[in-house]
Amino acid sequence: MQFMNHMTLGQYVPADSFVHRLDPRCKILATVALLAGVFLVTDLRLFPGWALLLVAVSALAKIPLSMVLRSARPVVFLVLITALIHVFLTKGDPLWRWGIFTITAEGVVMASRMALRLLFLVLFAGLLTLTTSPMELSDGLERLFAPLTPLGFPAHDLAMMMTIALRFIPTLLDETDRIMKAQLARGADLDRGNIVRRLRAFIPVLVPLFVIVFQRADDLATAMEARGYRGGKGRSRLNPLHWRARDGLALASVVALVVAGAAADRWLT
């Protein structure tokens, strides 16, 4: 009864590839550009382009395509629901009718567009997390948001919080697993009865978990202070980020592709 072992978090796949070596800021910005692109392009005829790009980047990152596709698994259900809603609720030329259900040509187009958009959105974001370690990611975000610090935006603190949260997710899953087992051993019944009963049954798991979390947070804060942590001011880095020519080139080509896609879309419609 290993309750949590089906959950894998942080899907970073270490590899030595061009994409892995890019500056995280470049990858974050490129991903943002791509996400915008996915929404700017409406013509279905242009969508194979996204697929092509996805295959090309995966190959460049030396990550098997199957692994990239797997990152979309959690949203498959959402995509299906979205597609179904659009198929049945879009008004237009009826193609097929059965009782209260009507499928229109516009509905089919709309459903494929929405489903594919969602999929590409998740897949491109997946590429980012597959090729960028959580540490790099939070470093990159911190630097990207750093210009906002004078305006009172706590870029460093948010990045630190993100790093810590990511670091402790596996630990907390282990703790949860252990406490659940301990209470099972005391005869707790965690998976019988209706919702209310089940929620009540989880109190013996949640209370110890909260106690442990606060304890840990307290210990961590003390440990950080003992080592002289006092926020981001004047803090140097072990691995400073370097923006190289290849980062500029990579970002420029992605942006160019997105602009080209948006322009082609205008022209086609």
Partner 1 sequence: MSLILRNVSHSYHKGTPLETAALRGVSLDVEPGQWVAVVGHTGSGKSTLAQHLNALLLPDAGEITVDGLKAAKGSKDLREIRRRVGLVFQYPEQQLFAESVDEEMAFGPRNWGLPPDQIGPAVDQALALVDLADLPRDRSPFALSGGQKRRLAIASVLSVRPSYLVLDEPTAGLDSRGRRGLMTLIDGLRREGIAVVQVTHDLELALAYCDRICVLERGRALFWGTPQVVVEQLLDRPVQGLSLPEVLAFARDLREKGFNVPLSWDPYEVAHALAKEVG
Interacting residues toward partner 1 by CB under 8 A: 1-2, 5, 178-179, 181-189, 203-208, 211-212
As measured in angstroms, the least distance from the Cβ of 215 to partner 1 is 9
Nearer Cβ to partner 1 (5/66): 5
As measured in angstroms, the least distance from the Cβ of 185 to partner 1 is 4
Nearer Cβ to partner 1 (2/269): 2
As measured in angstroms, the least distance from the Cβ of 208 to partner 1 is 5
As measured in angstroms, the least distance from the Cβ of 104 to partner 1 is 45
Tokens of 243: 């923006």
Nearer Cβ to partner 1 (62/181): 181
Nearer Cβ to partner 1 (203/259): 203
Identify the burial level of 162 via C-beta atoms within 10 angstroms of its C-beta, where 0-12 means exposed, 13-18 middle and 19 or more buried. Answer: middle
Quickly tell me which residue has 């950080």 as its tokens.
Answer: 224
Nearer Cβ to partner 1 (71/183): 183
CA angle (62 as vertex; 22, 51 as ends), nearest 5: 90
As measured in angstroms, the least distance from the Cβ of 182 to partner 1 is 4
As measured in angstroms, the least distance from the Cβ of 2 to partner 1 is 7
Nearer Cβ to partner 1 (170/204): 204
Nearer Cβ to partner 1 (154/204): 204
Q: Are 49 and 34 in contact (CB under 8 A)?
A: no
Residue 198 CB coordination number (10 Å): 13
As measured in angstroms, the least distance from the Cβ of 73 to partner 1 is 16
Residues 6+ apart with CB under 8 A from 133: 12, 14
